[in-house]
Each structure stands twice: as structure tokens, then as C-alpha cells.
Amino acid sequence: MGRQTTAKSQSRRLRSTRSAEPAVGPAGNTNAAAKKTAAKPSAKSPNTATAKNTATAKNTATAKASSSKTTAGSKRTGPKMATAAAKEAKPKKNVGTSSARNGKQTTSVRSAKTSHPRNHPRAGAVRAMLSSVRREFDRVSAYPLTTYYLVLVSVLALTSLGLVMVLSASSITSYDGGEGSSFAYFNKQAGFVAVGIVLMVTATFFPLRWWEKLAWPAMGLGILMQALVFLPGLGKSTKGNANWIQFGGIQLQPSEFLKIALAVWLGCVLAKKAGKMTTFGHAMIPVVPGIAVAVGLIVAGNDLGTALILMVMALVCLFIGFFPWKYFLLLFGFLAAMTTFFVFSSQNRLQRITASLTGHADQTASDITGQAWQSNHGLFSLASGGWLGVGLGASREKWSWLPEAHNDFIFAIIGEELGLLGSLIVIVLFATLAYGLVRVIMRSKSRFVQIATAGLFAWMIGQGAVNIFVVTGMLPVIGVPLPFVSYGGSSIIACLLAIGVVLSFARTEDGAAAAIKAHKDRVRSSFAVLARKRK
């Protein structure tokens, strides 16, 4: 009986093992079944957690039952399947869930960082704007005709402003002086401007080699005209200065045109002497004799202010022309000693220097010829203008209070009628002109162009600075006009002619000829389109 019972029990165990093996199957099938069981509820049923727990419990129970029943018959299969099922049930699901959750969290954090306004500060926008402005400035600066337009536009603006201010500043003096019209000085100045613009446009088309050929004849003609002021019947003296010549009704100041001739002549001579000024003779001749004759004739006419401008022009040309330092310092010392001698040898000049230092001490209302009268009333005019001025044409100082209101002291009238804003506009226009002249010097490959333009720069920008310093009381009164703005036929014509020379130099810049041709083609096509529309 015991043996039969044992045999029956073994047969039962074998039948139970055979019936359980297809349900459990191999390890790979168990894993696939677990995956399918875990995946189906998550896709179909919203109660994903409940389905997952149920599937896990069933797999665990099956694994335990199979392991207990097949302890003797299937030792290799049972533990492996239980271990694989345990590993695949929990860790893989948790890893998948955590990775998905982490992915969502990472995306949300990145999107929050990207969309947060603090990550786009205003400093970045400012930098972008500055870089854009810098790129645009570089593009415009590299354009071959930028220099040409800088010089032309600034000069035309200064000349137009000068016409308006001459009309305003001279209206009372013109009417009260017996002219019978407040437009007398303005009409003359407008005629001088027209002549100057014609000469400027004509000089613009002169090729570079023509100016080199005209250098010596222009210098000779300028010295000859300056010498004519001492010829009786032809020369004319005004307020102690013998610097004018008169042909019938035409009055001319030769020293203004001598400035152009000196700049062009020094440019031609120093360019040809480049690298050869090693000895005293090569360095000094003919440069120093030419400068001495030009300056000496002007000083002989008792116009030290204009002579100082010519000295500065000569020194700047020599500096740009690489004049040897030992000879340069020698010439500079000679000119400084000569200037000091002429200042201290004139009682009038000494009084001007004293007046600029002491102000209106001992000044009486009736002393209209006092040395401090003009400079003091120039300061009064500037002070009364304020920020925006008293209004165009509303100046009080031009009512015979400020001498030479339309000429040497026109900047004071600008400050009074247009205020600080108008004064700054004039200074900015001169600064723009200076920048254009410097561009001509820096971008040209011709030594002649560089030296001649440097001399013209010293004349126009230096004289403008001296005039403004005189009006503002920073320098003693020196009788030099404000270029392009002050009244004076010789001054405005000579200045515009000098600008024509500079514009002809600017046209020689690399790429300027092609740009000019492109402009002409566009203008022609525009006129052709207009002609078709009219038809």
C-alpha cells in the first residue's frame, strides 16, 4: 500500500508538472507575456496602476506555484523564470516611468528657462543695436564717395547758414549806413557765394596733374597780387591794414587766395622732395624762401592775424611732408621769434592782449573804441542767447552795439539769436568738415594730395577755431573771419575755391570714379523714365 501510494503521488506530481509547463513556458515567453500584460492596460484602461499591480501579482503567484511544484522535476527552469519575472516586472516599468517623467520635467524646465524674460536682457538688445550701427557705419565709411559728400554737404550747410546770419546781422548796419536797404550786404554776399560755387564746381573736375602743374604759377600770381597792395592808387588800406587792392568798383583781398596757392605749392614741392631733404640746401630751398616771402608781405601790410594763419599752414604742411626735425624746429623757432617781435612792437596789439586779460575794467559807455568793448559785447551777446536764443532777427547787439557783427563777430550773433543749440550746430558742421578733410588725407595714396589738404585743413579749421575762441574771450581780438559764414567777398570765394580743390582730390580715391559713373547711369535712367511718363 505504501508503495502504491508513493507511485500514485509521483504520477500526480508528474501530471501537475506537465500541465503547468505550457502556462509558464520558457523565460523569453514569460518576459513577452509580462510586457504585453503591462502594456495593454496602459493603452486601453485609464486605471493603469491597478492593472499593473494585478498583472504583477498574478505573475508572482504563478512563479511561486511553479517553483514549489517543480522543486524536484524542474530545478533549472523554475528559479530562472522566477528571477527573470521579478526583474522584468518592477525595475523595467519603474525605469520606463521615471525616464518618461524625467523627460517631461526636463522639457518643462528648458522651456521655462528659454521663455523667461530675464534670459533676454536689454543689454543684449543694446549690443545688437550697437553692432548693427557699427556695421552700417563701416559700410558707409567704406563707400568711395563718402568723403566727397561729407565735405560738400558740410560746406553747403555752413554757407547757407552764413547767408541767413549775414542778412540778420547786417540788416541794421546796412540800412543805417546809407545803403537805404536792409538787404544790401546780403545781396552782395549772395553774389559772392554764386561766384564761389561756380569756381568750386569748376575746380572739382580738374584732374590731379593739373593742380601739380598750376602750383608754381599760382604761387607766383599770389605773391604778385599781394605785392600790389603797396602800389599807390591800386592798394587800399582799411582800419590800419593794407591788404586790399581795388579795380574800379571791385575790391579784393589777395591774402585769401595766397592761402590756396601756398598749400598747393608746398604740397607739390614737398612731394617731389620726399626722401631728398637730407642736406640743409635741399631742405630749405625753395621751401623756406617761399614761406618767408608770403608771410613777410602780409606782415608788411600790418595784418598779423592772417600772417599767423599762413604760418600755421606752412608748419602743418612741413610736418605732414616729413620735413627733417632739426630744420623744422629751427623754422618754428624763427617764426615764433618773429611773431613775438611784431606783437611787442605794436601798442595796439599789446592793448588787445591786456584787454583780453583784464576785461571791461575802466570801460565807459561812451568809449565805443575801447579795446575791450568789442570782446565784452560779444560775450554779452552770447550770454543773452541762452539755450535756444532770442529768435532769428531779434538780436539786440546788432543795433550798433557790437562792431563787425556781420563779419568777424558773426558767431556772437548766432549765439544770441539761435542760442547754444545754434552755436553747437555750427561747431558740429565744422567738425564734420574737419573729419572729411582728414579722410582725404588718410585715404589718399598721393603725397601731394596729403600735404596740400593738410594745409587747407589748417587754414579753414584753424581759422574757424581762432574766430570762435576770439568771440568767446579765450583769445585776444584777431581780425580773422569765420570761414563760409562771415561777410566778405574774398573770404567766401577763396574758401569755396579751396573746397573745389579738396573735392577734386576726393574724386581720386580708389573706387570713386566707378561710383561716380554708376551715379550718372542711375540719374540718366531716372530722367529716361520721367520722359516716358510725360509722353
Q: How many structural domains are present in the chain?
A: 1
Judge whether 487 and 251 are in contact, CB under 8 Å. no
Is position 344 within any domain? yes
Residue entry with cell 536792409: 182
> What are the cell numbers at 190?
549772395
Q: What pLDDT digit, counting tens, does each position of 43-88 carry? A: 334 444 444 444 444 444 444 444 444 443 443 444 444 444 444 4
User: What whole-number distance in Å separates Cα of residue 275 and Cα of residue 273?
Assistant: 6
Percent of the chain surpassing pLDDT 90: 49
User: Between 445 and 247, whose confidence is greater?
Assistant: 445
pLDDT of residue 281: 87
Confidence of residue 534 (pLDDT cuts 50, 70, 90): low
Q: What pLDDT digit, counting tens, does each position of 347-384 carry? A: 888 888 887 777 655 555 445 556 678 888 899 999 99
Judge whether 288 and 438 are in contact, CB under 8 Å. no
pLDDT of residue 506: 95
Sequence-separated (6 or more) residues with CB below 8 Å from residue 31: 84, 85, 88
Is position 169 within any domain? yes
Is position 337 within any domain? yes
- The mean pLDDT of 389-398, rounded to a whole number, is 92
- Residue 26 pLDDT > 70, yes or no? no
pLDDT of residue 400: 84
Is position 175 within any domain? yes
pLDDT of residue 276: 86
User: What whole-number distance in Å separates Cα of residue 124 and Cα of residue 461?
Assistant: 40
User: What whole-number distance in Å separates Cα of residue 194 and Cα of residue 198?
Assistant: 6
- Residue 451 pLDDT > 90, yes or no? yes
Q: What pLDDT digit, counting tens, does each position of 424-448 carry? A: 999 999 999 999 999 999 999 999 9
Exposure on the CB side of residue 161, measured as CA atoms within 13 A = 26
Stretch among 236-240, 394-398, 444-448 having the lowest mean pLDDT? 236-240
Segments forming the whole domain that contains residue 451:
142-359+395-523
Is position 21 within any domain? no
User: Between 42 and 482, whose confidence is greater?
Assistant: 482
pLDDT of residue 127: 85
Is position 5 within any domain? no
Is position 232 within any domain? yes
Judge whether 497 and 203 are in contact, CB under 8 Å. yes
Q: What pLDDT digit, counting tens, does each position of 80-120 carry? A: 444 444 444 444 444 444 444 444 444 444 444 444 545 55
- The mean pLDDT of 264-269, rounded to a whole number, is 96
pLDDT of residue 370: 60
For 241, the enclosing helix (H) or strand (E) is strand 241-247
- Residue 205 pLDDT > 50, yes or no? yes
Stretch among 254-263, 365-374, 516-525 having the lowest mean pLDDT? 365-374
Is position 212 within any domain? yes
pLDDT of residue 248: 78
pLDDT of residue 142: 86
User: What whole-number distance in Å separates Cα of residue 515 and Cα of residue 506?
Assistant: 12
pLDDT of residue 258: 96
Q: Which residues share a beta bridge with 252?
A: 245
Stretch among 15-24, 128-137, 471-480 having the lowest mean pLDDT? 15-24
pTM, two decimals, is 0.75
